[in-house]
Structure 1
Amino acid sequence: MARFAFVALFGSLLAGFATAAPVPIKMELLARANATTTFTEQAYADFQISDGVGGTAVDEANAVFVDPFDGVDLSTISSDTLDAINTMREAAESAETDDFDPQIDAATGAVADALSVGKTKNKVLKLTGEIQAIQIKIAQAQASGDDTSDLEDSLNEEQTKLNTNVAADKANAGETSQGVA
């Protein structure tokens, strides 16, 4: 009789497991948690977006600074990657002040116009990198429970600058753009 009770208990236990509802796993959350960035630091000449035509800066800048982080939890970005973003953004800023400005001042006509369009695209690139770095810092601060109000103020300031330069780039759509690298 004890053997029958054990078999009945074991059978009902197995039946309970077999009919138990599966625990739902949100695959996009799992993928996001396990995603890694494809971001690698590059020399300015390798990531600059100023050659070509105006009007495309947003997509080109996103391809450099935003798209490599698609599906990645920004709070998990390493300090090395954040440093690489900042180094590249600083290179774009240096190109603006050290290269674009003097070359625009020295140029005339179509060359000056093309350099001006390129400078605008470069500003979009620089600001996109700055905003991405701030967003990473915000995500990391939030994950640590730290105050993000100063970072959010900086983000809003940089976003305003970016919006202005994106509008200028769109106004230059189709115009020849020349880089300095």
Structure 2
Amino acid sequence: MLFKATFLFSLAVSALALPASKKTKVAATAADVLTVQNYADFQVSDGVAGDALAEVKAKFPIDETNLAAVSANDLAIIKAARVTAEAAETDAGGFNDAIAAAGKSTTAGKALQVGKIKNKVLKLQLEVLALQIDQAQSGKDNSAKIAAEQKKLDNNIKTDAASKGATSQSVDFQGDDSA
């Protein structure tokens, strides 16, 4: 009887200690990597085409081998940056407006179109990353959404690579990655 009581007590103590130790481990590894920036500072559309994904990863250096350890602050910045990148494409004063004003066949219009593709790589990489982090941290199955967004991302990466060396132009879009 004493053995049963000791066993049950040990089991209860272990069960209580497990969540605390797991929480401590996550908190200890969830250090912030990112800081809030203006769109002009985290955009990747200036320069030349061909390596947009690497440019995005340099601006958002998240350890993709340990997504469960990404801080809540970093995840909020990633999500906000994605929203801002999408706004830079579609909102007033964004890529769509700038391309229409310049004309698609002009030199300026072509450079803006190349920049728009690089911006799409930014937006979609951040979307995929946010979904993967959410899945790693919550256990929620985002695999179908991740696959759909990854397919779009892969298409834009291919378009960017096909334009390698072409001049890329950003837009003067106001926004930031604050939550």
Shorter-chain TM range is 0.7 to 0.9
On the 8 A contact 1:35/1:72 being kept in 2, the answer is no
Q: Structure 1 residue 133 and structure 2 residue 120: aligned?
A: no
**1:134-153 mapped onto 2 (5 Å cutoff):** 134-142=131-139, 147-148=140-141, 151-153=142-144
On the 8 A contact 2:30/2:70 being kept in 1, the answer is no
TM-score normalised by L of structure 2: 0.73
Higher helix fraction (1 or 2):
1
**1:50-89 mapped onto 2 (5 Å cutoff):** 50-65=45-60, 68-70=61-63, 73-89=66-82
Off by >3 Å, runs of 4+ in structure 1: 33-37
Which residue does 1:10 correspond to in 2? none
CA distance in 2: counterparts of 1:79 and 1:35, whole angstroms: 8
Q: Mind listing any 5+ residue stretches in structure 1 that lack a counterpart?
A: 1-29
TM-score normalised by L of structure 1: 0.73
**CA deviation string 1:80-104 (max 9, x = no partner):** 3211111111110000112100110
Number of aligned positions between the proteins: 142
**CA deviation string 1:50-73 (max 9, x = no partner):** 0100111011011123xx222773
**1:2-151 mapped onto 2 (5 Å cutoff):** 34=29, 36-65=31-60, 68-70=61-63, 73-98=66-91, 99-108=94-103, 109-142=106-139, 147-148=140-141, 151=142
Q: Structure 1 residue 168 and structure 2 residue 159: aligned?
A: yes
Query: SS state of the match for residue 69, structure 1?
Result: coil
- CA gap 1:112/1:50 in 2 versus in 1, 3 angstroms: same
Residue identity matched to 1:73:
N
CA distance in 1: counterparts of 2:29 and 2:109, whole angstroms: 47
CA distance in 1: counterparts of 2:39 and 2:163, whole angstroms: 23
Select the structure of larger CA radius of gyration: 1
Which residue does 2:13 correspond to in 1? none
Query: SS state of the match for residue 34, structure 2?
Result: coil
CA distance in 2: counterparts of 1:84 and 1:130, whole angstroms: 12
